[in-house]
Amino acid sequence: MKIKKFINKKNKTKIVALSAYSKNIASVLDNYCDLILVGDSLGSVLYNYKSTREVSLNTMIEHSKSVRMGVKKSLMVVDMPHNTYRDPKEALINAKKIISKTKCDAVKLEGGQKIYKIVKNLIKYNIPVMGHLGLLPQSEKTFKFKGQKKSERDKILQDAKLLQDAGVFSIVLECIETSLAKLITKEIKIPTIGIGASNNCDGQILVLDDLIGLNNINVRFVKKYSNVRREISKAVASYAYDVRKKKFPLKKHSY
């Protein structure tokens, strides 16, 4: 039911999506988002991994279990990490494991034609799937935006249509050229969710830590709406001062 309502948002209202890796953050996002993604971006955001390829299935599951406790209204999607969906059988086993242990609403896979049969098989077993095209962090060696060459544009558009045919309910478009994002969004009947893919998509997603300024990152497609890093620094500085000056804890903070 949640997924049907999500699909019906296409051409009606812009979709709001963000990442979350814990219950406390998820419970805040749930008040504003249509979709909350437990992204394998947690590899770099939380664990300082060099790429998302280092993220394990168990790590995704444990963070997703935490997020699930904070999500009541939003659609909750979990990234299937690298090397967990290399063939239909492996993908089915791992997708079932993710859904059974986390109670998420859907899983997300990266790729187009290469995962067509994998996605079809998951859908056959009633596992909702979200697609991901454009820049694919699990397989890219260099991070460059996509859709400059005609051959590349044609391939991404074809992959979008293939994923729709396979049964995905939505597709993330990452770092693709503006007019291509517009074309794909027009050509397919399911919602597109952009990240670095212009406002022509049906919705937008960002990594929350980037949005709130907790990550010390500067990339073109991120707008920083806050500077939480600065606020944390101010709070910790005040705490450290009070402790050293014996201003904390006071009598009212003690038993």
Annotated catalytic sites, by residue? 174
- How many angstroms separate the CA atoms of 59 and 51, rounded? 14
- How many angstroms separate the CA atoms of 187 and 195, rounded? 19
CA 208 to chain centre: 10
Question: Residue type at 27?
Answer: S
Three-state DSSP state, 72: coil
Structure tokens at 90: 């492996």
197, 217 Cβ separation under 8 angstroms: no
In order of 1, 98, 174, 242, the CA distances from 77 in angstroms are 14, 10, 16, 42
- How many angstroms separate the CA atoms of 116 and 138, rounded? 17
